[in-house]
């Protein structure tokens, strides 16, 4: 009898061992579901966000899809975090080989009431390969067995330190806090290395269930969980009991800083352009294996030329002035009671055509069309009052809830002024600031690169540059300020071209080129382009970096071409760089996940003018801000003008340092420009509406000196206040200059009644 029992026990034991072997073998061979290959264990897939850094080492943003991971090395993890993790999740982590049989036995005996059985390795296996535990008992058991098998394999392939590193880098702490680096920044605005003991304990406490233990929504529950972690650290000798008791009396001190989405944060327009550029770059620059880099998953690090301090000042200046200017525009509309508002000088039929085009290009139209709705029904839906959230400068978050028809919302958004600003460091071509509009979330059209607008008088320096370069003219040479026509047949123009001065006024005197450019005298510019020919001016503009197509006709002298802000700033920066054009650059290098450099920018330069010609142009452009249409940068002679005061911000400016610049205003005040340069920063500002028919009805508000110049002035004033390296010195003067620059003119300062920098386009 006794022998039969012994035999039976051995049989049961053998069958038990065989059964366990069979179960684990089945799991290992994929009978319970797909198992990771050796290659997958060596390189577990993890979506790593692309990080975008400014030139001053600030994280501007990330490109990611579902996951937003920022891996950190084990050496970057604080000891308190590792201690808290091991003490709470797996006290014998450094002793077992993936499965803690003592912990498993305890969990079985006490039904999990004294701790779970999952080791850190098993939890990592679940994160990487198994997934969320099934509610079906059979499937849950199969998943558990798979976890055991994978955990053992992970232990064979990785060190204990690497397993902890992967575990903390992969855990989802909520609010796009994927991984410990994001969690430390989002919950405490710190790096992992800077975490204090109680902060490490809180984050480890969240590992049990980050949705349940949410410090933003359930601080009391999370505090209790944090204290449990601290107790565990005391239990296993990682923390002094007295210190633990002290820490448990403190609040969480969460400094919640949620991760910005793609349309929020700093440099949004730039980041979206960069995203498009990166997509093209990875297609043309594959990995050594032939595979294409994934900008959302491969953990690239992109180092840009953007200076976060300049960028912040640029965005603040744009927001401050545009919000003020917008209020003035709305007041004008209310005063005028225009039936076609916000459009001016259009018939109702023309307005309907514009709005109809906007309807058909809207998301609403596309969505309803996809549902099979007819055009008639879709159009009718635009006249039904609807609850919506709209952009509003006055609202705290720049958004307000309202009820209006989609038709009215189109008119509402059409009435908003847009803006753009770009800064380039002339010597390197590095783009330091990029503002494509008022607010990316609501106005996603990037006016820096997507749109080309008429440039007005900001084009005139190219005409002057051609004359000085080719005819060796001097800023002190004189031409008569009298009506002037470029005859038909000259330079290929079909009809005679007879431009007018602003307001139709002509002094009849012989004036210097310096005075003519400073005060935007159209007749002198017309004479210059007649002398050198439009083709020569086009050639100069192209060599300076203008990529937009420019017709070789005399009328371009007054700024009829449509040019992008990026191109115009690039061209002007050549003057400040002593005649050398440097191709604009916005990425200095790209690194892969391992820190290998996979792109290193190489400056591209070309000589356009010699130093003497470039400095002569700088001298001319300095005259604009010393005694011309940009003089309000230096004097408060408009201080008594209530209308001007209503439209601008930060006035008076009273800059004392050398500034080269040019204002520009197009026909009907549709576009306002200001180009301003100091030795190491060239900046262009444009302000206008989406449609040219939306504009101010008077020159006081609508000129470039009112619409755009204040943005530049406020931006530069903050740059100087912040002492961030923007030059206040004079431009570099060549050792030898043969061109006469000392004109000794008297009474050059432009008077208030002639402050309009307006171009009369007489085609």
Fold of domain 69-258: Penicillin binding protein transpeptidase fold (1.10.3810)
* The model's pTM: 0.78
Instruction: State the average pLDDT for the chain.
Output: 86
Q: List C-alpha distances in Å: 249 to 226, 302, 394.
A: 11, 43, 42
Share of the chain above pLDDT 90, in %: 64
Q: List C-alpha distances in Å: 399 to 259, 327, 395.
A: 20, 16, 6
Whether pLDDT at 598 is above 90: yes
pLDDT value, residue 101: 61
> Dihedrals φ, ψ of 581, to 5°?
-90, 125
Return the exposure string of 633-645: e unless at least 16 CB atoms fall within 10 Å of the residue's CB, then b: bbeeebeeeeebe
158-176: pLDDT as tens digits: 889 999 998 998 888 988 7
Whether pLDDT at 391 is above 70: yes
**What does the DSSP assignment read for 398-464?**
SEEEEEE-HHHHHHHHHTSEEEEEEEEETTTTEEEEEE-SS-TTT----TTTT-EEE-GGGGHHHHH
Find all residues with CB under 8 Å of 719, minimum gap 6, and list them.
Answer: 309, 310, 313, 681, 726
In 3-state terms, what secondary structure has residue 224? helix
346-389: pLDDT as tens digits: 999 999 999 999 999 998 998 898 888 999 999 999 999 999 99
Share of the chain above pLDDT 70, in %: 84
**Residues written for the chain:** 763
In 3-state terms, what secondary structure has residue 696? coil
- Give the closest residue to 196 by CA, choosing from 73, 83, 72, 70: 83
In 3-state terms, what secondary structure has residue 489? coil
pLDDT value, residue 528: 97
For residues 337 and 40, the model is more confident at 337
Of the candidate ranges 6-20, 136-150, 513-527, the one whose mean pLDDT is the lowest: 6-20
57-79: pLDDT as tens digits: 999 998 887 566 777 889 999 99
Whether pLDDT at 28 is above 50: no
Q: List C-alpha distances in Å: 578 to 176, 508, 549, 680, 711.
A: 47, 35, 25, 11, 26
pLDDT value, residue 17: 45
pLDDT value, residue 527: 96
d(CA 172, CA 509): 75
- For 423-584+602-754, CATH gives 3.40.710.10
pLDDT value, residue 560: 93
> Dihedrals φ, ψ of 192, to 5°?
-55, -40
Give the residue extent of every domain in the chain: 1-31, 69-258, 338-394, 423-584+602-754
653 DSSP assignment? -
Q: Are 586 and 525 in contact (CB under 8 A)?
A: no
């Amino acid at each position: 009898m006794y022998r039969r029992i012994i035999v039976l026990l051995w049989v049961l034991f053998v069958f038990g061992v065989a059964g366990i072997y069979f179960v684990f073998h089945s799991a290992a061979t994929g009978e319970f579901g797909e198992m990771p290959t050796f290659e997958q264990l060596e390189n577990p897939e993890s979506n790593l966000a692309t990080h975008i850094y400014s030139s001053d080492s600030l994280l501007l943003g990330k490109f990611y899809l579902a996951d937003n991971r920022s891996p950190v090395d084990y050496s970057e993890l604080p000891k308190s975090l590792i201690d808290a993790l091991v003490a709470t999740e797996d006290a014998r982590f450094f002793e077992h080989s993936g499965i803690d049989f003592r912990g498993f036995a305890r969990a079985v005996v006490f039904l999990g009431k004294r701790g779970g059985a999952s080791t850190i390795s098993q939890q990592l296996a679940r994160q990487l390969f198994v997934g969320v535990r099934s509610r079906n008992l059979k499937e849950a058991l199969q998943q558990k067995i798979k976890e055991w098998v994978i955990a053992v394999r992970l232990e064979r392939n990785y060190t204990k330190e690497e397993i902890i590193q992967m575990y903390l880098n992969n855990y989802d702490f909520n609010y796009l806090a994927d991984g410990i680096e994001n969690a430390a920044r989002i919950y405490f605005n710190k790096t992992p290395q800077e975490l204090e003991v109680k902060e490490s304990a809180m984050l480890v406490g969240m590992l049990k269930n980050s949705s349940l233990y949410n410090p933003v929504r359930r601080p009391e529950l999370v505090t209790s969980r944090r204290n449990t972690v601290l107790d565990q650290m005391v239990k296993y000798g990682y923390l002094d009991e007295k210190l633990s008791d002290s820490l448990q009396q403190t609040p969480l001190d969460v400094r919640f800083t949620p991760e910005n989405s793609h349309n929020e944060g700093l440099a949004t327009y730039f980041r979206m352009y960069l995203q498009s550029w990166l997509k093209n770059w990875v297609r043309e620059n594959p990995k050594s294996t032939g595979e294409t880099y994934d900008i959302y998953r491969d953990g690239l690090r992109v180092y840009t030329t953007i200076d976060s301090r300049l960028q912040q000042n640029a965005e603040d200046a744009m927001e401050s002035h545009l919000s003020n200017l917008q209020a003035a525009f709305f007041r004008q509309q209310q005063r005028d009671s225009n039936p076609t508002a916000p459009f001016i000088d259009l018939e109702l039929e023309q307005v309907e055509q514009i709005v109809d085009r906007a309807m058909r290009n809207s998301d609403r139209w596309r969505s309803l069309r996809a549902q099979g709705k007819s055009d008639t029904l879709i159009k009718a839906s635009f006249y039904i009052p609807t609850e919506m959230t709209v952009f509003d400068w006055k609202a705290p978050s720049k958004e307000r809830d309202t009820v209006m028809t989609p038709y009215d919302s189109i008119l509402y958004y059409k009435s908003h002024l847009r803006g753009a600003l770009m800064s380039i460091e002339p010597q390197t071509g590095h783009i330091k600031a990029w503002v494509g509009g008022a607010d990316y979330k609501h106005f996603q059209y990037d006016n820096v690169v997507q749109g080309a607008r008429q440039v007005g008088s900001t084009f005139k320096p190219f005409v002057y540059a051609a004359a000085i370069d080719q005819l060796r003219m001097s800023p002190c040479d004189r031409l008569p300020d009298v009506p002037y026509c470029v005859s038909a047949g000259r330079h290929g123009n079909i009809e005679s071209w007879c431009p007018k001065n602003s307001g139709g006024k002509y002094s009849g005197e012989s004036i210097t080129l310096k005075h003519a450019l400073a005060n935007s005298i159209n007749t002198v510019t017309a004479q210059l382009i007649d002398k050198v020919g439009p083709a020569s001016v086009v050639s100069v503009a192209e060599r300076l970096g203008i990529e937009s197509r420019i017709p070789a006709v005399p009328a371009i002298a007054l700024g009829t071409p449509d040019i992008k802000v990026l191109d115009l700033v690039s061209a002007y920066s050549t003057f400040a760089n002593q005649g050398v054009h440097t191709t604009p650059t916005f990425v200095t290098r790209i690194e892969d996940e391992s820190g290998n450099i996979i792109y290193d920018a190489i400056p591209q330069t070309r000589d356009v003018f010699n130093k003497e010609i470039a400095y002569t142009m700088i001298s001319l452009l300095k005259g604009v801000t010393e005694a011309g249409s940009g003089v309000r940068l230096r004097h408060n002679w408009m201080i008594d003008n209530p209308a001007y005061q209503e439209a601008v911000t930060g006035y008076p400016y009273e800059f004392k340092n050398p500034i080269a610049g040019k204002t520009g205003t197009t026909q009907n005040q549709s576009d306002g420009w200001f180009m301003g340069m100091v030795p190491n920063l060239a900046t262009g500002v444009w302000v206008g509406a989406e449609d040219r028919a939306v504009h101010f009805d008077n020159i006081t508000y609508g000129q470039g000196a009112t619409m755009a110049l204040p943005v530049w002035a406020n931006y530069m004033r903050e740059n100087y206040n912040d002492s961030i390296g923007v030059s206040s010195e004079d431009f570099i003067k060549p050792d030898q200059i043969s061109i006469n620059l000392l004109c000794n003119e008297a009474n050059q300062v432009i008077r208030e009644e002639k402050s309009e920098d307006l171009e009369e386009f007489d085609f």
